[in-house]
């Protein structure tokens, strides 16, 4: 398992997801972290969740914690 990267999955309103595509830059806001993490959109689901009218979007970013051998 490659722990150098993380993937955040978010449900985005259909109207906003229509403007996204794989490769777009994105940021991930993490509670307790002072700055957002820069990443890239890796997936914009073609399926709409009918109950919430949202689309699942994946953003991949470097793991700020690094590899396990650097954890303290």
First to last CA, the chain: 19
Tell me: pLDDT of 69 over 70. no
Beta strand 25-28 with 37-49 is: antiparallel
Integer Cα distance of 64 and 44 in angstroms = 24
CB 14 within 8 A of CB 49: no
**Unique residue bearing structure tokens 């990443």:** 39
The residue ranges of every structural domain in the chain are 5-64
Give the model confidence (pLDDT) of 1-60 as tens digits: 677 888 999 999 999 999 999 999 999 988 888 888 899 999 999 999 999 999 999 999
Q: Which CATH architecture is the domain 5-64 placed in?
A: Beta Barrel (2.40)
Per DSSP, the three-state class of 60 is strand
């Amino acid at each position: 398992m490659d722990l150098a990267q993380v993937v955040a999955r978010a449900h985005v309103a259909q109207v906003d997801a229509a403007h996204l595509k794989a490769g777009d830059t994105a940021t991930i806001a993490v509670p307790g972290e002072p700055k957002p993490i820069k990443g890239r959109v890796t997936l914009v689901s073609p399926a709409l969740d009918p109950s919430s009218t949202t689309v699942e979007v994946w953003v991949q970013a470097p793991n700020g914690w690094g590899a396990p051998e650097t954890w303290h």
